[in-house]
Amino acid sequence: MSSLINRAATKKFILAKIAQLRPGMEEQLTRVSKEALDIYEARLRSMIEDDIMIHPTRGKTFRAN
């Protein structure tokens, strides 16, 4: 199954947030592991599946809860 997240953009976002929220750590943390990206992918898939299961059975448009 293909990825739901853009891995390059997610890495860039994580590293930018590290620099913003944890000044000084951006010199130490310069990479994002495949495992971290896999965890975020799994969390997103789970959130979507949960929303599908609780979605009302009417209408034509899927709306996130």
Per domain, the residue ranges of the chain are 7-54
For the stretch 28-48, pLDDT in tens is 999 999 999 999 999 999 999
Q: How far apart are CA 43 and CA 49, in angstroms?
A: 10
Token digits of residue 55: 């979605």
Residue 41 CB contacts under 8 Å (≥ 6 apart), including other chains: 3, 4, 5
Helices (H), the chain: 7-21, 34-54
Q: How far apart are CA 18 and CA 42, in angstroms?
A: 22
Q: Is the pLDDT of residue 1 over 80?
A: no
The model carries a pTM of 0.85
Q: Is the pLDDT of residue 65 over 80?
A: no
Q: Is the pLDDT of residue 22 over 80?
A: yes
